[in-house]
Structure formats: C-alpha cells, structure tokens
Amino acid sequence: MFSYRRVVELSHVIHPGKERRPFEVELVGADRIDPNLPRAEGQWYVMGNLKHTAHVGTHIETPFHCLREGDDLSKIGADRLVGEAAVLDLRDVAAPGHAIALEEFQAAAEKAGGIRAGDIVLCHTGHSRHYGADAYARRPGFSGEALTWMVEQGVKLMGVDTGGIETREVPENAYHTILFSHGICLIENLANLAALTQPRVMVFALPLAVEGLEAIPLRVVALE
Ligand SMILES: [Zn+2]
C-alpha cells in the first residue's frame, strides 16, 4: 500500500474580481436563489457561475491549445495526470530572461535522481507569475535543447512555476508544441514548490474533462 506523510498543495488560490488582466475571473449568479425564502439562521442556497479564461492561475494546457488535431481535456486520461514526479530545482540558474540550457537542466535532473520514462517533471525556478508585455524579461524560460531532451526521456507531463516556458526570442508557443506534439500537457503557474522536501514525489493533477476545451485551472497536489 502506498503510504505518505504529507499532502502539499501546489496550486494558487483564484480570487474572483482580483485576478489581473487578461486573466480576470468573474463570479456571477453566486447569489442566493430567492433570498426571501425562509431559511434557518446562517443558511442560504448558493449556486455559483464562474466566468474566466481557461488560463487563469495554476492551469493545465493540453495539445489542443496549439494543435488543431491535438487532444483536448476530454481526451487526457488520468494515467497522463497522476504519477511519480521528479522535482527539478532550477533556482540557481533561473535568471530573468535566461533560457535554461541543456547542461543546466540535465544537472538539475541528475540532482533529483534522474528523469525516468513515465515521469512527471516539475520545474522549480523560484519565479512566480509575471504579467504584462515584459513578462518574458522578468522570468526565465527554457532552451529548446533542454525541452527536447526532457521529451526524449519519455516524460508524460511537465509543470512549471512560471507562466510560460519560452523566452522572448522564441516565436509564440514554439516550445509548447515541443511538448504538445508528443502528447505532453503543460501545467503553468505552479505554487509552493519550495514546500517540497524531496526530489521525487507522487503528483495528482486532475483537471475537469471538458470536451473541446484546451486548458483549465486545476488543483495540483504532491504526496511525500
Ligand atoms: Zn502556456
């Protein structure tokens, strides 16, 4: 029987009305179906209606994000979303605007005990979400060589604490497609990676399975 000591939350909280452009979240209809009905003190009957971009907060992107024939959320089986993860500590090399090089990526993988076929890979850069036109300059990205090597190891899912993996020099989403063309989904804006104490953890990343949708916020948890 699989045993664990800690459950670590790896998703940001979403704050309707407070998320920054262009990722606004609106909570509509959360109100009180007929507030005049008699109810016990402190009770109501709330049914929320959330309106938001699929890319707010900690979210998963499927191949359908960039590939017309790629799998959407409804086609991503749970086996691609749950499993052992290698946690790569890239904080030392993750300078703003820097594309993490193959050797830097491999060194972090080695420190984590290597990347095995079927692994989930969580990349800890120490940077969080950056917004605005100059976001690329304020967070690190990855080199194409590093991502290609990672894909070649047979990983099944990648997660990162930043809002993207490209650097400014790379055409829009070119590196997303390195993952997507191999059926690998990408989780962006992971939170709390510093709370992990082990380089290998069990990860559960379970988005809603929505037909025709390319991305969605999700809870990601790690078990240690
Ligand atoms: Zn993305």
Q: Is 195 helix (H, G, I), strand (E, B) or coil?
A: helix
Q: How far apart are CA 102 and CA 165, in angstroms?
A: 14
Task: Look up the CATH number of the domain holding residue 205.
Answer: 3.50.30.50
Could you tell me the distance, in angstroms and rounded to a whole number, from the CA of residue 135 to the centre of ligand 1?
Answer: 13
Higher pLDDT, 63 or 41: 63
Residue at 109 is within a domain: yes
Q: What is the pLDDT of residue 42?
A: 85
Could you tell me the distance, in angstroms and rounded to a whole number, from the CA of residue 61 to the centre of ligand 1?
Answer: 7
Record the tokens describing residue 159, joined without a space.
């997660």
* Mean per-residue pLDDT of the chain: 93
pLDDT at 144 > cutoff 90: yes
Span 45-56, pLDDT tens digits: 888 888 999 999
Mean pLDDT of 173-199: 97
Could you tell me the distance, in angstroms and rounded to a whole number, from the CA of residue 129 to the centre of ligand 1?
Answer: 12
State the DSSP string of 118-157: T-EEEEE-S-----STTHHHHS-EE-HHHHHHHHHTT--E
pLDDT at 44 > cutoff 90: no
Type and span of the H or E element at 52: strand 49-52
Could you tell me the distance, in angstroms and rounded to a whole number, from the CA of residue 207 to the centre of ligand 1?
Answer: 15
Q: How far apart are CA 165 and CA 41, in angstroms?
A: 50
pLDDT at 219 > cutoff 70: yes
Residue at 24 is within a domain: no
Q: What percent of the chain has pLDDT over 70?
A: 97
Residue at 42 is within a domain: no
Number of domains in the chain: 1
Record the tokens describing residue 22, joined without a space.
């262009």
For residue 177, give its domain range. 7-11+55-223
Amino acid in the structure at residue 34? D
Residue at 156 is within a domain: yes
Reported as a pLDDT band with limits 50, 70 and 90, residue 168 is confident
Q: How far apart are CA 144 and CA 15, in angstroms?
A: 34
72-86, 133-147, 177-191: which range is least confident on average? 133-147
Residue at 34 is within a domain: no
Q: How far apart are CA 121 and CA 176, in angstroms?
A: 15
Q: How far apart are CA 130 and CA 218, in angstroms?
A: 19
Residue at 187 is within a domain: yes
Could you tell me the distance, in angstroms and rounded to a whole number, from the CA of residue 37 to the centre of ligand 1?
Answer: 45
Helix then strand then coil, in percent of the chain rounded to 5, is: 20, 25, 60
Reported as a pLDDT band with limits 50, 70 and 90, residue 32 is low
Could you tell me the distance, in angstroms and rounded to a whole number, from the CA of residue 178 to the centre of ligand 1?
Answer: 12
Residue at 20 is within a domain: no
Could you tell me the distance, in angstroms and rounded to a whole number, from the CA of residue 31 to the centre of ligand 1?
Answer: 33
Q: What is the pLDDT of residue 31?
A: 59
Q: What is the pLDDT of residue 30?
A: 61
pLDDT at 120 > cutoff 70: yes
Could you tell me the distance, in angstroms and rounded to a whole number, from the CA of residue 195 to the centre of ligand 1?
Answer: 24
Amino acid in the structure at residue 157? L
Residue at 26 is within a domain: no
Could you tell me the distance, in angstroms and rounded to a whole number, from the CA of residue 32 to the centre of ligand 1?
Answer: 36
pLDDT at 129 > cutoff 80: no
| Lookup result for tokens 């953890």 | 201
Q: What is the CA radius of gyration of the chain?
A: 19
CB-based contacts of 62: which residues, under 8 Å, 6+ apart?
Answer: 70, 71, 72, 73, 75, 76, 180, 185, 214, 215
Could you tell me the distance, in angstroms and rounded to a whole number, from the CA of residue 144 to the centre of ligand 1?
Answer: 15
Alpha helices per DSSP H over the chain? 102-111, 135-138, 144-152, 176-180
Q: Is 192 helix (H, G, I), strand (E, B) or coil?
A: coil
